[in-house]
Structure 1
Amino acid sequence: IFTWHGATIEMDGGADTSDYVADETPMISYVNVHAVLEARRNRAKASSSSDSDSSQGPRVIVVGPTDSGKSTLSRMLLSWAAKQGWKPTFVDLDVGQGSITIPGCIAATPIEMPIDPVEGIPLEMPLVYFYGHITPSINLELYKVLVKELAQTLERQFAGNAESRAAGMVINTMGWIEGVGYELLLHAIDTFNADVVLVLGQEKLCSMLKDVLKNKLKVDVVKLQKSGGVVSRTPRYRQKSRGHRIREYFYGLANDLSPHSNVANFSDLSVYRIGGGPQAPRSALPIGAEPTADPTRVVAVNISQDLLHLVLAVSFAKEP
């Protein structure tokens, strides 16, 4: 808990609850980042051009390892911007947890008011792409396709809305920052044309990004200290958190929704998987050849016990 002006806190937990007052806090640096972003938004709003870079507000992408406070920082920057009257766009690329909707999706939504710490992000107009897995490693190419499609859709929206364009966006990413995960971060930075990269708690990652992005003069890479309040979560805790998010989606935050079951014949349903399937490794291909598998290829799935307790997306397409 952080407060600028002091607060009275009531704690319930008995003797097992331990509390302390930290001597250092990264909040000053976070607020300084907000001030810089606010200045960029004002410059973008003052610009009379609708198609130049000067009318584009800040596009911030928050990166860092697992349990570094990326989601929390994203929410703070969005809430502070909303308090100033802006409507920035929140983009969530973390399919493992899901800040906007259920895990297994990437999504974007405008933030019109400070985010409530209990109710979370309002789901009035979310733009959601269903990926279907909790890690991009299951189908890397499909993940890239969805990220690109999400970015292109937002670009079209910004082209017709000067207010949203000037407000910019804040992009939350996953905690996979090594190997292929690092490549996916670079792909997201390039696809969304991010001009501010905030690196939390990872000096090596910051150095690598500064080196690879040094030729992009309009991209600023900023290292920020991880908050001392960040808690490491176990795999079991993450699994429970995903289950809670899914239940919240169907039943509502206060159990105010009433989902019900429908019975359908197997003959009336068609289940498909997008992408995936066997693919020859690069080592088995001729020299210079690239894999030709289509990441958006639709593959029929047999209805069986394997589909029990899985979350599927409903498509409105008339044919596969």
Structure 2
Amino acid sequence: MSIPGLGQLLPQPTTSTTRIVALKRLSEWRFDASRSSSTGVKVRLISGTAERDGTELALNKTYTFVRTKSKILTWSGCTLEISGESQDYVTDFPVAEDSPMVSYLNLHFELQAQRKAAANATRRNRPGPRVMVCGPQNSGKTSLVRMLAALSTKMGGQPLVANLDPGEGLLSLPGTVSAAVFGNVMDIEEPAGGFGVGSTPSSGPSAVPVKLPIVYYFGREKVQDDVALWKDLTSKLASSVRAKFSEDDEVRSAGLVLDTPVATTNQSDIDSLVHAAREFAVNIVVVLGSARIESTLQQILGQEKTSSGEPISVIMLDQSEGVAARDNDFVKSIREASIKEYFFGDSKRTLSPSTQSVSFDDVAIFKTPDEEGYETPPVGQVLEPAEITAGMSHWTLAVMDASVNDPPETIRQAPVIGFIAVADVDEDRRRLKILSPVTSRLGNKPLVWGRWPEPYINLLG
């Protein structure tokens, strides 16, 4: 069956036999390997050129995708060799220029023009473009962010990429907001389909050269779980980004690409987007797949200027028709895998985490006050000492770049230097068994116990 704009659909899982897929100009091979075997789906570019989210595939190199819903795009046509089980289909357009990828590429060209202007010696005080990408669930936000960042690095830039969605992880575990400089090509085989932790420098050697990420710990799944804390951490991250701009001219001229939480048209979500736009002084706001969000942001931000006096452009781009919906089971599996890979590595990098036994008296663990007993859940509360019980088993705790003697508010807003996992709690002996990516002791670094992600897995089981 052929559907305009989608081409030939393959609704049934393919067999594991090797097959050839020929793609026309500006068409895509979309695949769902989220439930495939551990061997994954293997893809080899036989002829032509192709890319995944802005990063080019090498000719005749085999790539393996596991736990992935994504796409391979060709601008000029290509032939792929596919092996392994997946659900897949080809998208093409009767008029190739109708592909939303054309508008994404045009956006990249506009960003490059602004980067060139920012690199001019007469404009050294003004950073390159700061573009914020937003939209509803499954609109393709993170894929566009990946694409824009990858195209910038391909042109020799070193863009800052920041993530404000605590449900995702940018070179960190979920439950954080973070930013990092991308100075080279991204990992095409990244399993999460976003910016997973598989290549984070904090968990081991990186296949994708980046500078150390800046990470702040939110400890919740959604912005709405503590809007005040999220806004505080967003402001802290924005301040760190400005510091990066001031100390590195190449990063400053390359600018920022900002990923945001899933947004609806309710006022709270709009307020959060406006807060992010102002804090990061973005001059381009891209909205995918929602005319109402675009119209609302246009009314608010379209009348403003950045701190550098630049007008703020709010534009709407079509979302890709082939964006894959990520159900709860898929998201959960990615989250579990990211935690495991942080400590143990993946198929490319095997890590050997340290297992330590520590006394209750040798660690300082903090948490936000419990919500029980409140008519309204406490919002933006400072931290309090946590009671160590068996209920802490299998949770991940953030190690904060602060001192245990610092005020709770200082600890709460401190950067994260890593994570540990609580493998076991022996209340009788008052001992904790912890799993750490490094062998060094915690010293006087405080630990923060968030409310999310919940302990789905036993890492030592």
Question: Does the alignment reach a TM-score above 0.5?
Answer: yes
* 2:92 matched residue in structure 1: 22
In structure 2, relative to structure 1, the CA distance for the partners of 1:275 and 1:44 (3 Å cut) is: farther
5+ residue gaps, structure 1, are 283-292
1:88 aligns with 2:159: yes
Farther off after superposition, 227-236 or 153-162 = 153-162
TM-score w.r.t. structure 2 length?
0.62
Correspondent of 1:271 among 365, 370, 377: 365
**Structure 2 counterparts to residues 246-265 of structure 1, below 5 A:** 246-254=339-347, 255-265=349-359
Match of residue 139 from structure 1: 226
On the 8 A contact 2:117/2:123 being kept in 1, the answer is: no
- Paired-residue identity, %: 30
C-alpha change, 1:318 and 1:68, in structure 2 (3 Å) is same
AA aligned to 1:319 is: N
1:185 aligns to 2:273 (yes or no)? yes
Q: 1:57 aligns with which of 121, 128, 134?
A: 128
Contact 2:100-2:317 within 8 A present in 1 as well: yes
**Residue identity in the other structure for 2:89:** D
Q: Which residue is 1:319 aligned to?
A: 405
- The partner residue of 1:46 within 120, 125, 140 is 120
Task: Give distance in 1, aligned partners of 2:110 and 2:303.
Answer: 22
Task: Report the AA paired with residue 250 of structure 2.
Answer: E
Matches within 5 A, 1:1-320: 1-13=72-84, 17-23=87-93, 24-51=98-125, 55-119=126-190, 123=201, 124-177=211-264, 178-217=266-305, 218-254=311-347, 255-274=349-368, 295=380, 297-315=382-400, 316-320=402-406
Q: Distance in 1 between matches of 2:302 and 2:153?
A: 31
SS in 2 for 1:72: helix
**RMSD over equivalenced CA pairs, Å:** 2.3
CA displacement at 1:281 relative to structure 2: 5.7
Three-state SS of the structure 2 residue aligned to 1:62 is strand
Offset at residue 69 of structure 1 (A) = 0.7
Give CA-to-partner distance per residue, 1:201-238, whole Å, 9 cap, x none. 11111111111113115100111111122111111211
Greater displacement, 264-273 / 90-99: 264-273
Structure-2 change in CA distance of 1:270 and 1:204 (3 Å): same
Greater share of residues in helix: 1
Write the letter of the residue equivalent to 1:239: K
Residues 189 and 79 of structure 1, relative CA distance in 2, 3 Å threshold: same
Q: Shift of residue 6 of structure 1?
A: 1.9
Q: With structure 1 as the length reference, what TM-score do the two structures score?
A: 0.88
Structure 2 segments unaligned to the other structure (5+ residues): 1-71, 202-210, 306-310, 407-461
CA shift, 1:139, in A, is: 1.8
CA contact (8 A) 1:97 1:241 kept: no
More strand by share: 2
How far apart are the structure 2 equivalents of 1:151 and 1:96?
A: 19
Conserved 8 A contact 1:142-1:275: no
Q: Quote the Cα distance in structure 2 between the aligned partners of 1:25 and 1:246.
A: 36
What CA distance in whole angstroms lies between the structure 2 residues aligned with 1:275 and 1:90? 32
CA contact (8 A) 1:139 1:276 kept: no
Contact 2:226 2:379 in 1 (8 A): no
Shift in Å, 1:49? 4.0
Higher relative contact order (Cα pairs below 8 Å, separated by 6+ residues): 1
1:269 CA drift (Å): 2.1
Report Cα offsets for 1:171-216 as digits up to 9, x if no partner. 0011133332221111101110111001011111111111111311
